[in-house]
Amino acid sequence: MSATLIDGKAFAATIREKVAGHVRHLHGEHGLTPGLAVVLLGEDPASQVYVRNKGKQTVEAGMASFEHKLPVETSQAELLALIARLNAAPAVHGILVQLPLPAHIDAGKVLDAIDPAKDVDGFHVLNVGRLATGQKAMVPCTPLGCLMMLRGHLGDMSGAEAVVVGRSNIVGKPMAQLLLGENCTVTIAHSRTRDLGEVCRRADILVAAVGRAQMIPGDWVRPGATVIDVGINRIAAPERGEGKTRLVGDVDFDSAVGVAGAITPVPGGVGPMTIACLLANTVTACCRANDLAEPE
């Protein structure tokens, strides 16, 4: 038996359509255009691709995109001054600082300088605290995308055993909070977890956010479980020709697909959802800033 594939591209397309509809409504009824500012320091190729895609999809959804590409040697003071300007700019409803930042910048300080109401990445300590205490927060985009796919696929998750492998601030921890909010029984596993295979086999919902290619084999997956693979890892693919590579997740897809009930592929699973959720968060921020009903 083969698992159902959870199609992140299709989910993301639906979210983008909804976002575009809200944007039309905000524009037509209230004369508002949600605006997203993206700040990039340096020329890291992967970050440049992400920023380009974010800008393109923001414009396609009918929103305003403000890109700030700064040289890698930009000082922390200059970056903080830009963030202060964006915090004060009425046309900017969402601010995203592309990570990772160069070593001479204190990323925590920069993220906490963003107005929490414009913090569409949900990394500001106030939003982290709000999420942890069940209050209205800006929720980090990648775990929010995972949650939307889980809700779409499973509906009610109450009482399910959920295991999140990885405890980063941007994926693992907020994912665990969101699953707790869905009334799952949540376990967070990490590099010091004893007998990780045994822990994973408990999971009705298994979320892998580790960053290690194919490290979770099929025999760690409980039969029928729903598997969300957040990992994006590039490995050599000699079968495609010399020097060729391909993307794989943290789960060994080929062995897991025969055991799981449903699984997200890599690529085409969690990845496309992240930018779609960023657009959705920007619309939410615009609605909140203007005391308007926000999208569900």
202 near ligand NDP, rule: CB under 6 A = no
Active site residue 250: no
CA dist 131 and 143 (Å) reads 12
Based on the shown chain and the rule CB under 6 A, indicate whether residue 47 belongs to the binding site for ligand NDP: no
- For residue 8, state whether it binds ligand NDP (rule: CB under 6 A): no
Please, which of residues 255-274 interact with ligand NDP by CB under 6 A? 270-271, 274
Q: Which residues neighbour 45 within 8 Å (Cβ) at sequence distance 6 or greater?
A: none
Q: What is the DSSP letter of 138?
A: P
CA 248 from centre of chain: 17
Segment interacting with ligand NDP, rule: CB under 6 A, options 14-22, 130-138, 231-239, 278-286: 231-239
Q: Which residue has the tokens 């800006």?
A: 138
Q: Which two tokens stand for residue 224?
A: 């029928």
263: annotated binding-site residue? no
- Element spanning 256, H or E: helix 253-256
Place of tokens 């070593």: 103
Closest CA to 3 of 272, 270, 254, 267: 254
* Contact flag: residue 191 with ligand NDP (CB under 6 A): yes
Is 168 annotated in a binding site? The answer is yes
Please tell me the distance from the alpha carbon of residue 178 to that of residue 171, in angstroms, as a whole number. Answer: 11
Specify the residue, 5 or 292, whose C-beta has the smaller distance to ligand NDP.
5
Q: Which is nearer to ligand NDP, 142 or 281 (CB)?
A: 142
Q: Which of residues 119-158 bind ligand NDP (CB under 6 A)?
A: 142
Alpha carbon distances (Å) from 286 to 37, 84, 135: 13, 18, 18
CB of 104 to ligand NDP, least distance (A): 20
Residue ranges in 50-89 that form contacts with ligand NDP under rule CB under 6 A: none
Whether residue 254 lies in the annotated active site: no
Q: Which is nearer to ligand NDP, 75 or 245 (CB)?
A: 245
Please tell me the distance from the alpha carbon of residue 144 to that of residue 291, in angstroms, as a whole number. Answer: 23
Looking at the chain, how many residues does it have?
296
Out of 54, 93, 124, 167, the only residue in the binding site for ligand NDP (CB under 6 A) is: 167
65 assigned ligand-binding residue: no
Contact region for ligand NDP (CB under 6 A) — 11-19, 40-48, 167-175, 285-293?
A: 167-175
Among 115, 119, 121, 204, the active-site one is: 121
SS3 at position 225: coil
Chain positions contacting ligand NDP, by CB under 6 A: 142, 165-168, 170-172, 189-193, 196, 209-212, 230-233, 270-271, 274
Which residues are catalytic, by number? Answer: 54, 98, 121
